[in-house]
A and B are shown apart, each in its own frame.
Chain A
Amino acid sequence: MLSKLVKYEFKATSRTILWVFLAFAVIAAVSAIFFGNLVTQAEAGGTATDTGGTAKGLAAVLLFFAYFASMAVMMIVVVVVVISRFARTMLGRQAYLTHTLPASREQLLLAKLITGSIWSIASTGLVLLSLFLFSLREGGWGDMVKGLREMAAEGSPIGQSITLLALLIVVSATAGTLMFYAAISWGPNLLKNRVGGSILAFIILYIATQIASFIALLGAFSGTAMDALAAPGADSAMDAAAQEELLADPSQSFAISFSVSDFDSMNYLLGMQTILWVCFGVVFWLLARYMLRRKLNLA
């Protein structure tokens, strides 16, 4: 049953999404190929081929914007397609069909979650891939990416960071999709206007996650800073000046601990965020399931 549901979810959403993926991929490829060259040529253009240089410079800027615009469009389209599919099939006209299929609410939610998350992760993946492609060429992006790769070669815990980052991307894509689903399921119960209610629900959930994140991270970083303070001589030891700063003003703990050991802190941060998002995801799942089971309110 679940695999059948997933099949239909993909069928319904793939056409539009694959087109924007293709559009982005093409623009990114074109940008990767030409952007680097254009910048170098524009810079090297000098006085002899002034007009040529300006034109190339202009083209470079246009490509630059095209790249970011298509990225934004891709991200937006993925979100829009996924949530409109959910809204239409779970609460709109087709809801009568969906909810009388011999599938449990959990199966329906899960199928849509799998599809939505995969599209979300895929779009992020495409962006990262395009950045990686840029790194193979000369030019601004490339240097930064090259720099990171050099650091990895030197042995800093960047490998860990990348794994954690990947994990965070997957978890936040999943939980983020669930956040939309939960908001859409809750919406009709908040306000008479379904769309308005869903937007309100989303805002409430968003604010709640921000507050929860802030509290959690604050707590976590105070902890780290205090630990570092209590164990001088360890890897993440702080120098005397930093210690004095911290004792003088504990609210600075975040800033201070971050400067102590960049990657350790970043990994800690990534790990914290991941755990947070897992918790959020669980809450959103339970909320969506409760709303769909007990409070289903079809037109």
Chain B
Amino acid sequence: MKWDFRGDRPIYAQLVEQIQLGILRGEYPPGSSVPSVRTLALEAEVNPNTMQKALAELETQGLLATHRTAGRTVTEDERRIGELKEKMAQEQIKAFLEGMAALGISREDAVKMIAKEVN
């Protein structure tokens, strides 16, 4: 998995997003075990404490679960993953519409352009 960071936003927040993407893309399939904090931190070249914070956040969101014996796994709760997908998709759409608005294109025109692109 390729990790990419910008310096001006908290790293842990970026880690959360990138792992979320990883889950959605299928790099971390539902139910699969997640590598240890150290391994992930090394891979991403970030501080283990920061990675720990990110993973804790993902647990709070219900996307990761910690088991006493098996360590951390991705949730098998398809609904949760579906919710995540929707949420991220919504954000993409919002961003797209804002981008179009910045170009001076109305929402209706934007939708028409999409329809044309899809066909």
- The reply to whether A and B meet directly (CB within 8 Å) is no
A residues near B (Cβ < 8 Å) are none
